[in-house]
Structure 1
Amino acid sequence: MAWQGPGGYPGQGQPPPPGFYPDPSLGGGYPAGGAPYPGGGGPPYPGAGPYPQQGFPGAAPYPQQAGGGGFFPGSAPYVPKPPGYDMGGGNYNSTGYGEDGNGMQNFDFSDKSIRLGFIRKVYGILFVQLTVTLGFIAMFTFHDGTKMFVARNPFLWWVSLGVMFVCLITMSCCGDVRRKAPMNMVFLGLFTVAESFLLGCATINFRANEVLLAVGICAIVTLGLTIFAFQTKIDFTMMGGVLFVATLILMIFGIVLMFWNGKVATLIYASFGALLFSIYIIYDTQIMIGGSHKFSISPEEYIFAALNLYLDIVNLFLYILTILGATRD
């Protein structure tokens, strides 16, 4: 049989050199003469110099790769990393990264670049929503022709109410609708227009100075609460259950006021509602920014995050406007 030297030494496929004796226990043979053969107890190797190959059985240990991640015996086992492991400097864990059933990658939300991009997208969408809403409010407040048109066509109010509820329920219950573009933007746009129309109809019953004052107070309160939510070390994301109970109480209180209405009761109701949705702004903001808070929303849910903040601000504006209207002479 052809002599196969380790690492091709002195040549593969060549006849064995003189003195090569087969050894069935080694599966081949070893040369004879000179220095002892490394790791074996057979005849000596020809010549006195050391065997030129490294890593031969019985010689020095196999060379290791840097960092202990080699494939050679004695090194640390190789653990494959998922594709895109080092994207954006994120960390890998069993729950924060991978692929879901739709093939979309779920990044660890603690990654700073992903979180900042998500926050910018949410506030960009929220800015467009509030701009559209302010345009409707200004048109209904200062344009008499719009007021007369709405008064002559009351069915528009019911149509807007139906569109608003359908879009809200669809985006809240159907994850594919609010995650896949452009469907998510279409539903959010329809919801924003319908909600803005309803808010415009609500402002008809108030004076222009009351509406402007409510807008200013709402903007200042929202800005202050947002800054507070970013800076505070208090984790408001753990208050979800308390806020849900408070919302139920507010809803029951509102139903009671439909049958028993009074100035004092209205002020209490509106004040409680303004306080509740002020806390909701902090709660939804901290869920959006994630980080060290206990609960955080997925970066894919930018439509849902913008929708939550928009509803918080809209409700805060309505309750502030109700307080101002109830305090008039």
Structure 2
Amino acid sequence: MDAVLEVENSEVPGIAVQCDLLLPNGHLQRNYEFDITDIGLRRRLVRRFYGILIVGYLSFTFNLKSNLVNPILQLQVACTLPCLELFLKYPLPYNFVVPLSMVLTVFLYTCFYIWRDWRRHGPFNYFVLLLSTLMGSFNRSVYLLNLVETHWVYIYPGILIFEILGLMLYSSQERFRFTQIRGISIICLIFGLFLLLAYRLNRMMEVFSAMACTVEAWYIIYDTHYMLCGRHGYNIGPEEFVYAACNIHCDLPKGMWRLMKMLFFSKIVEAVRMFRECFRTEVC
């Protein structure tokens, strides 16, 4: 009898998990611990640094009503679209430019990775934001002009701007959860509307060639999750929107490495382990 009472009074591991699983959609209601606990402050931060990203794609002043427009951002405004226009008028020798761009990008992001404090504190954070935006605009322009050498190349940054703007509008409410699948649904819906418009205008191939903008928009919400829930270890404050915008750019090598590791290197490691087991396992 004492043994039974002792078992009843003891904590049985796994009960809390089982109770959560009994709830409706309990396996889908996982909550993350964010550095910024207030959902209003957290989503306001997201809207602000998403606004900075949009400014980086535009060629006109975009007032975010949050003191973001300053001399550094005025220089950042003239990035992607004028860069595309310049390369359309003066084509580059891509066989020479692409390797040089890769070397410069690796060197620049290596410096940003080693000296991380530059992203957080002013005025260096504006300098990092400017350099990373210029490098991103240059690489994006070189990639796009390899696909389309007409003014339809503008459709890529245009769709990307609308996708990020849609994510900003969704983050302005606090009633519904902002999960990755809902963000991806917004991105695909906006791109689908542009495809429908392109079908009406008989420009399906030009718009379809800009499909990579959906991947870039998905990376933005993917890195936002990792950045705000502490997985990157940044511990971002509610007013550090410039720092967050810098991280979106500077986390790109880490995101590429994680993708390559998931798609290729994990399979290679699995194949090596299976081959190694051939020397140990007995058939019969």
Q: So what's the TM-score if we normalise by structure 2?
A: 0.43
The structure carrying a bigger helix percent of its residues is 2
**Whose radius of gyration is greater, 1 or 2?**
1
RCO higher in 1 or 2 (8 Å CA, sep ≥ 6)? 2
